[in-house]
Structure 1
Amino acid sequence: MQSDRSDSSGPITKRVNSLPSDSDTRGKHRIQAELKRLEQEARLLEEELELLDKMENATAVCKEMLSNVDTRPDPLLPV
Structure 2
Amino acid sequence: MRKHRKIVGRSYLYRVDDIIRIYDEHSRSGLSNREILRRHIWPKYHICEKTFYNIINASAEPRIIEGLKSINTQLSLF
Using structure 2 for the length normalisation, give the TM-score.
0.32
Using structure 1 for the length normalisation, give the TM-score.
0.32
Choose between structure 1 and 2 for higher RCO, CA contacts under 8 A separated by at least 6 residues: 2
